[in-house]
Structures are given as structure tokens and as C-alpha cells.
Amino acid sequence: MTIERDARLRDVESWGGYFRFAIDAPSLGGGAKPGQFVMVKVSDGDSPLLRRPLGIHDAGPGGIELFFAVAGRGTEILAGKKPGDRLDIIGPLGRGFTVEAAPKGARALLVGGGRGIAPLAFLARTLAAAGAKPVILYGGRTAADIPLRGRLDKAGFEVLCSTDDGSFGFAGFVTALADREIGKDKPAFVYACGPDPMMKAMAAVTARHGVPAEFSLESIMGCGVGACWGCVHRIRTEAGDGWVKICEEGPVFPGERVIWP
Ligand code: FES
């Protein structure tokens, strides 16, 4: 984990309320793994006091990319940043996806709902580099909620889209699209990230088809480093059911261990 107080925002791309930041920060990018997150200080003053947790959208030796949706005061302030601005970021944090779960040549489904697509581009690139065959299922309420589809297509990934209102791609929930795809050609592994109701439905789909899966959980986070107990979730362990800190033990958990609210 690094505290990078002088990360430089290099490039900003936006679509309505969705933003992609490219950030120069070699100390953060080099060691990042797909599924890990960072804590970003959004203002120079004390308000808002808490940093915002954001999943790493991509990473490399030069820095990281973040993708986020404006969902409150903190992300609204962040969305106002311009190329050249300095950012104070802690990371990479948490435990990411198990890339080895999809071996060479195996098909893996990556299911993202809305801003839950954030960590899946990095994961898809890493899986492809390791010889697996990632297929991204990208769903949103409307076509405006799946803004990265063109970018992911252009990057050469196989991408299937869904919208709840049928305005683009498969008409229906992304979990229904995943159900169809798993039924057609069972993948070796499923990775998912999105809102809790979507992930709960996705857990039911993977369990019904007998496909192993990992889920990246979202949570409000106070510290991001295990100090505040602000991010607990119920998880099954060998010792029984219990509360764990998502920022420390997760955010990625095996599907069979998550107890959905
Ligand atoms: Fe503080 Fe997890 S966010 S313990």
C-alpha cells in the first residue's frame, strides 16, 4: 500500500454522470491487481472528511485509471477535477479477483452492472494476457448507463450488452443475459461486480448452473484499511457465519461464502 499525495490527473473522459480518470501515479499502478481499490481524497479541506473508495479500472507501470459515477457530494467534487490537478490517493487496497481461476484457454464470464464494470476491464485484460478467454457482460438501466461499451469493443474484448429498458442490446437484466450465456456455453468461472440485488441474483444463477464465481462487494468505507469497522458484511467461514471487513478481507469474495442481505 502506498500513500500517493502527488498523483497527477492526466486525462478525463465523461458521459453524463460517468467519468473515467487516467492518473499518473507509478507508485500505485505498478503493483495493482484486478479487483483492488483505492481511497481518493476528494477535496483539499476537511469536507467531505472521508476519502472515497473507487475500484481500479486499469493499471500499469505509469499509473491507474478510475471509472466512477457521480453518486453524492464526494464523487460530485471529484467529477469537477481537471487534467493537471493533483490527487491524494491511498492504494492499491484489498484482495482482488483470482485470475488463476480461469485457466489458459478457458472461457470466463465477467458480469458488470452499471458502475460495477469499473474493475472488470483490468480483469479482462489480465485474463486475456494469461491466455483465458474473457467475455464481458455489461448491463445498465438504459443505454446511457453502459457508456464504456464502445471503448471495451475497441480494446478488442468480446462484449455483450443488456439494458433493462431494451434501449441497447439484450432487453432485460444483465443476470438474465448471463443465465442465457451460461446455459449456451458453460464458462469455467464467473466474476461479477455491481449493486447488491444484481449480485444476489447472479449468485443464484451461478449456483443453479454449478459454476464457481467471485463477487466484488460494494460498501460505504470510512478508512479502507481495516481501522473503522465501517464496511462489514456477513460471510460464511469454516468457523461459522460472521462479520468481516470488506476493505481488508475483500472486496472480492467466493460466491459460496457471501451471505446476501
Ligand atoms: Fe474502515 Fe473497512 S472501511 S474498516
CB 174 within 8 A of CB 139: yes
Distances (CA, A) of 236 to 55, 68, 212: 24, 30, 16
Say how many residues make up the chain. Answer: 261
Tell me: pLDDT of 46 over 80: no
Ligand 1 atom 4: the closest Cα is on which residue? 226
For 75-120, how does the pLDDT look when each residue is reduced to its tens digit (9 = 90+)? 999 999 999 999 999 999 999 999 999 999 999 999 999 999 999 9
How does strand 107-113 pair with strand 189-193? parallel
Q: Hey, what's the cell of 31?
A: 503493483
Q: Hey, what's the cell of 105?
A: 484457454
R_g of the chain computed on alpha carbons: 17
Q: Name the packing angle between helices 196-209 and 174-184 (round to 10°).
A: 20
For 115-150, how does the pLDDT look when each residue is reduced to its tens digit (9 = 90+)? 999 999 999 999 999 999 999 999 999 999 999 999
Distances (CA, A) of 210 to 9, 230, 256: 43, 33, 11
Cis ω before 134 (30° cut-off from 0): no
Q: Which atom of ligand 1 is nearest to the CA of 220?
A: 3
CA 63 to ligand 1 center in whole angstroms? 24
Task: Kindly tell me the burial class for residue 42, based on how many C-beta atoms sit within 10 Å of its own C-beta (0-12, 13-18, 19 or more).
Answer: buried
Beta bridge partners of 15: 18
Q: Hey, what's the cell of 204?
A: 443464484
Give residue ranges with CB within 6 A of ligand 1.
221-224, 226-231, 245, 247
Q: Which atom of ligand 1 is nearest to the CA of 53?
A: 3
Cis ω before 251 (30° cut-off from 0): yes
CA 220 to ligand 1 center in whole angstroms? 8
In 3D space, the residue among 59, 83, 8, 35 whose CA is nearest the CA of residue 214 turns out to be: 35
Q: What is the mean pLDDT of the chain?
A: 95
For 52-71, how does the pLDDT look when each residue is reduced to its tens digit (9 = 90+)? 999 999 999 999 999 999 99
pLDDT at position 135 is 98
